Structure 1
Amino acid sequence: MPKINIACFAVLFFLFSCYSKAQTENKTISAEPRSTDKKSVFFNTNKANCINLPFGYSDISKRITVDSILSAIQDKNKLKEFNALQFEKVIKKDLVLLPEEYDVFLPFSKNVNEKYDQIKIASDFLCHEDYSIYFMAVYNTVRYAEPFIEKMYLVSTKNGKLVDMKRIYLNHQGEMGFANYTLFNIDKNYIISLQDYEFSEDPFTLKPLQKYQILPSGKFARYYDKDGPYKNNEEQGMVKDHHKEGKWIETKSNGSMDLQKYPEFTDPYTYLEAEYKNGLPTGTWKFYKLLQKYNEETGEPILNTRKKGQLIYTEMYREGVLEKRELH
């Protein structure tokens, strides 16, 4: 697999994630306060450094073949655009905690706070109404002689305070040709499109394109092109004003639970009864064991066999922030 030398973007510490991996004690998890007062972090506020949109890979919806994806990953001109963001400010590792969403498959540690990682924040950023959005780059400094960007994040701030963060780029190259990539595009309306690709012995899986929007609060929420009932192989519910609203059923791989620590899961999938308000998690979310059969030849789940099993745990949200998780 080719080495990627990108220089991308930036930021710091923020303990927010709708699906953050929590520590358990006495079967109850109380969310710790999301404090950003621990140490100060430098953010450039010079409006002269605001970048113009669109930015990223404008044609990701057309890149559906292996060759087209690899050519995008290796595009030196695109890498120069990323480098032009001026990743100059190094963030100390002990200031960074980057939890991933529960349904994001990662074949490596979810925490970038590792010995050899280098994390930088860019001088150039996105300006949008009452908040600013900064780029952060997590460099792989171990596997190859020349470091390259393995992950990129957008971090939103409002009135100088951290609000939310979203991974928008991934270049993870595993063993034996296995790899995971994420390409992104941010259009002129600040709609973020993400396309995930998985290279394995299959040998290639194209994940569904997903869109996100930055809410007036500065938080990131899924964005849908059309309002009304929505259903695909993983989720179903109502879309209002382009965002999830009300009750949703989601049957996805759930990476927030350790299968060795919680053997009752038996596999990484859960049946989730979720609730949203204005695109953000709210109320009580109920995670059940997902009962399903698998194709004997491919090992893939048979979707029409999926049904709800016993309740495993619940999560309580307020205005998009996880407050407590209880195991059952």
Structure 2
Amino acid sequence: MFKINIAFFTSLFFLFSCYSKAQTENKAIKTEAHSTDKGSPIFNTNKADCITLPFGYSDISKRKTVDSILAAVQDENKLKELNALQFEKSIKKNLVLLPEEYDVFLPFSNNVNEKYDQIKIASHFVCYEDYSLYFMAVYNTVQYAQPFIEKIYLLSTKDGKLIDMKRIYLNHQGEMGFTNYTLFNIDKNYIISLQDYELTENPFQLKSLQKYQILPSGKFARYYDHDGLYKNDEEQGMVKNHHKEGKWIESKANGSVDLQKYPEFTDPYTYLEAEYKNGLPVGTWKFYKLLQKYNDETGEPLFNTRKKGQLIYTEMYKEGILGK
């Protein structure tokens, strides 16, 4: 088993966290994956270990009830398939920082600081043209006697260089029985489907399925089945060649808003005027306070009351990379 350079990964996770603080999607990390152990690569490069697609939970779009969701999460056969990826290369550190957002921020903090004893990268991976996609598992060893995989991240790499990173799996057991799940599927065309589930005291509401595609640059971008105007409760804009193009309006939770520092914002939602080219952020993004009313009984936001408030801050992008 290869020796792991702890200092490298500590720096890696710190860079990911700092970068993720200001971005909402399509992060690009320019970090070299240095060799360890006399030139041996950190990532397995043996093409014989490339997995066959599709892989994951192929029926997530059909699971629309709490019972069906729990059955999927607890499916022993699926858990065996995940473990069959062979998470063998272990990174051990008391505290790591990992980005949590891919259009959805959980929770509403800039960084997720949790104590873990085990972070492992799988030996088996996805081969995609000139890129390799590696699975990284974060094990929960704190809350329960028996460690289990709580999160899985997909790392996009080329020639040992990390390009992008996205969380594709979540099994978070919260307090008072509240839980958050994310299930994934990677189809034979390398389209990544993600389905979020949140089980709370409120009536269960199924979140919309989101799809992602690997761009020629190696970055992850939202993928849409149909071109043309797209609109739902959180975002609207034009889709071209299955990706976001031009001006978009997005009303979502925003982890960059410090509610303690700016209590006048009252909640973590913002009204975003964004711009995309070929699925990647470009130009100036303007974040405004989101004005909205809430249901008196459930506390849920009323989407038809949403409108733009005062300007909070701006971000400037070039070819998907945040400039300032």
**TM-score interval w.r.t. the shorter chain?**
0.7 to 0.9
For 1:143-162, what aligned pairs fall within 5 Å after superposition? 143-162=143-162
Cα distance between partner residues in 1 of 2:268 and 2:112: 22
Tell me, yes or no, if the aligned pair for 2:270 and 2:289 is still in contact at 8 Å.
yes
Relative contact order higher in (CA < 8 Å, ≥ 6 apart): 1
Tell me, yes or no, if the aligned pair for 1:112 and 1:138 is still in contact at 8 Å.
no
Cα distance between partner residues in 1 of 2:17 and 2:275: 16
Cα distance between partner residues in 2 of 1:85 and 1:193: 19
Tell me, yes or no, if the aligned pair for 1:102 and 1:256 is still in contact at 8 Å.
no
Moved more, 287-296 or 31-40: 31-40
Match for 1:246: what amino acid? G
> TM-score scaled to structure 2, two decimals?
0.88
Moved more, 260-269 or 86-95: 86-95
Q: Which residue of 1 aligns with 2:221?
A: 221
Q: Secondary structure of 1:82's partner?
A: helix
Cα distance between partner residues in 1 of 2:118 and 2:108: 16
| Cα 1:98/1:258, change in 2 over 3 Å | same
Q: Which residue of 2 aligns with 1:323?
A: 323
The reply on whether 1:35 has 2:31 as its aligned counterpart is yes
Deviations 1:28-87 (A, max 9, x none): xxx998433678571000000000000000000000011110010110001111111010
| Cα 1:291/1:112, change in 2 over 3 Å | closer
Q: Secondary structure of 1:20's partner?
A: helix
Structure 1 stretches lacking a partner, 5+ long? 1-10, 23-30
| Cα 1:251/1:65, change in 2 over 3 Å | same
Aligned length, in residue pairs: 306
| Cα 1:18/1:272, change in 2 over 3 Å | farther
For 1:187-226, what aligned pairs fall within 5 Å after superposition? 187-226=187-226
Match for 1:274: what amino acid? A
Tell me, yes or no, if the aligned pair for 2:90 and 2:120 is still in contact at 8 Å.
yes
Q: Tell me the C-alpha RMSD between the 2 structures.
A: 2.5
> TM-score scaled to structure 1, two decimals?
0.87
For 1:1-328, what aligned pairs fall within 5 Å after superposition? 12=9, 13=12, 15-16=15-16, 20-21=20-21, 34-36=30-32, 42-93=42-93, 97-101=97-101, 103-107=103-107, 111=111, 114-324=114-324
Deviation at 1:141, TM superposition (A): 0.5
Match for 1:35: what amino acid? T
Match for 2:135: what amino acid? F
Cα distance between partner residues in 2 of 1:79 and 1:110: 30
| Cα 1:212/1:103, change in 2 over 3 Å | closer
Cα distance between partner residues in 1 of 2:277 and 2:44: 32
Q: Secondary structure of 1:206's partner?
A: coil
Tell me, yes or no, if the aligned pair for 1:19 and 1:101 is still in contact at 8 Å.
no
Q: Secondary structure of 2:237's partner?
A: strand
Q: Which residue of 1 aligns with 2:3?
A: none
Match for 2:31: what amino acid? S
Cα distance between partner residues in 2 of 1:165 and 1:176: 31
Sequence identity, in percent? Answer: 82
